Amino acid sequence: MDRLSYFYGMTPVNPSTNRVLTLYELTAGIARVFSDNFPAAVWVKAELAKLNHYPESGHCYPALVEKEKGVVKAEIRGTIWANDFLRINRQFMQITSEPLKEGIHILFRAMVKYHPVYGLSLQISDIDPAYTLGEMAREKLETINKLKKECLFDLNRALPMPLLPQRVAIISVKTSKGYSDFMSVLGNNTWGYAFSCALFPALLQGDKAVESIAGQLRRIKALKDHFDVVAIIRGGGGDVGLNCYDHYELAAEVAKFPLPVLTGIGHSTNETVVEMVAGQNKITPTDVAYFLVQHFHNFSALVEEYKGKILDYSQQLLEFEQRRFAELVQRHFSGTRQFLQGEKAMLDTLSRDLLAITKDSLHGERVKMGELQSGLKFHVKQWLTGRFSDIALLESQLRALDPANVLQRGYSITYFNGKPLRDQAAVKEDDEITTQLHAGRLTSKIKSISE
C-alpha cells in the first residue's frame, strides 16, 4: 500500500478519475497519521504562554510555545481536562507554593491528538513541578553570572546609606498589606521621626512585573535628587511568584541604580537576584521600615551625643576664661601697686639726693645764705609734701575704684534683665529692676520715668 492508500485508508485509485475527498475523509486520515506515529504519551518541555483556564467547566486549554532569542519557533494548543487540572495544579502548588500560571517553563506528559473539528492539540495528563523549579534556578544562575561579568553585581551594595534616609520612594501596590504595614511602622515610630514617602505603583509578580518595576525605577531615577532611598516591598509569595525578581533586566536596573535600594518582598528562603544586588535586603516590608527608623535613630543618638560634648566643652571653656579674667584683674591691681611703690621710692631717692646736693652747695655760704636756705628748704618740703599727697591720692583713688568700696560709700548698681541699667530709655513703667547695695539687693518696680 503506497502513502496515499495509507492516508486515505483505501485502495489506490487512478488519478485520472479526479477523485475528490470530503473534508472529514481528509481530517480522519490526518488523525490516523498522528495516532499511528504517536501511539503513546511523550514528555515535552515548553513555555506556558497562556493558561486559558475556564472555571465554569474546569477545563484548561494552555497555549504552549518554544522561543529562541525571544522569537517563537513553535506553538501548539494543549488540553487539560478538569479532573486532571485539579490534580496537577494541587501537586504543583505543593511543590512550588504557587499555582500554574503563565510565563513559566514546564515539563509535561501528553498524548498527541488530532480531532477533525478541533484540530491538533496535546492532551496533557501530568506536569513535573521539579523541572519548573530547575529552570528557574538555571535562569537565576545565568542572571547572576551575567551581572558579575559586567561588574554590576556589587554596585548598589557599595553605595553608602544616607545619614538621614528621610525621603523614601516606594515601589509597591497601594492596596497590599505589605505597603500598609510599612507605612504604619514609619508613621507610628516611638520617637516621632517624620518620613516623606512617595508611592510608585507597580505590578509585583508575573511576566509584566519586570517592565512595571523597572519602569518605575527609571521614573525615580529622573527624580533622584528628591529621594534618599528606594524601597521595593510586597507581601509574601512562593518561589514561582518571585521568578520575575531573578530576571536580568530588573536585577541590572536595581544594581545600577544611583540611590540605595531596599527590598522587602516577603519571604525568607531562596534569595532572589534583585535581593542579592540591592543595597539592603530585609525579609518583610515591616523589616525595611524598622531598618529605616533605626538608621534615623542612630543618627539622632549621635547628634545627642555630640550635643552633650559641645555643652561640656563650652562649660569648660567658659570656666577657663573666667579664671583667666580673674588672673588678669589680679595682675592689673598688683602691677599698679608695684608701679606706685616704685614711683614713691624713686621720689624718696630724688628727695634725699636733692637735699644732699643742696646742703653741699650751701655749706660754705650757710651764714650768708641762711635765709635763702631756709626758704629753699621750705619750698622743697612743700613740693615733696605735694608729691606725697599726689601719691596718697592715687592710692585712695585706686582703693575707691574697688566696686565693694564704691557700694560701701552708699552707691548702688541697678540691673534690668540681668544687665546694668545705664539709660532710662531702656525701661518703661511697671518694669521690675534690681538694685545691688553694699549689703543685699533690692527689687523695685518703676512707677515713673523722667529725663
Find the length of the chain. Answer: 451
Residues 343 and 412 reside in one and the same domain: no
Residues in the chain with pLDDT < 50? 1-4, 6-8
**CATH number, domain with residue 210:** 3.40.50
pLDDT at 362 (0 to 100): 67
Residues 394 and 414 reside in one and the same domain: no
pLDDT at 170 (0 to 100): 97
Q: Which residues contact 438 (CB under 8 A, 6 or more apart)?
A: 404, 407, 408, 410
Residues 76 and 182 reside in one and the same domain: no
For 87-156, give the DSSP string.
HHHHHHHHHHSS---TTEEEEEEEEEEEETTTEEEEEEEEEEHHHHHHHHHHHHHHHHHHHHHTT-TTTG
Residues 336 and 441 reside in one and the same domain: no
pLDDT at 369 (0 to 100): 67
Residues 396 and 435 reside in one and the same domain: no
Residue 287 lies in a domain: no
Residues 131 and 21 reside in one and the same domain: yes
Residues 131 and 165 reside in one and the same domain: no
Residues 248 and 338 reside in one and the same domain: no
pLDDT at 64 (0 to 100): 93
Residues 331 and 215 reside in one and the same domain: no
Find the domain containing 327 and state its range. Answer: 301-401
Q: In terms of DSSP H, where are the helices of 150-208?
A: 177-187
Residues 61 and 184 reside in one and the same domain: no
pLDDT tens-digit readout, 309-319: 888 888 888 88
Domain count, the chain: 4
Please name the residue that has the C-alpha cell 644732699.
Answer: 356
pLDDT at 261 (0 to 100): 97
Closest residue by Cα to residue 265 from 248, 282, 251, 249: 282
Residues 71 and 92 reside in one and the same domain: yes
Residue 35 lies in a domain: yes
Residue 177 lies in a domain: yes
Residues 266 and 317 reside in one and the same domain: no
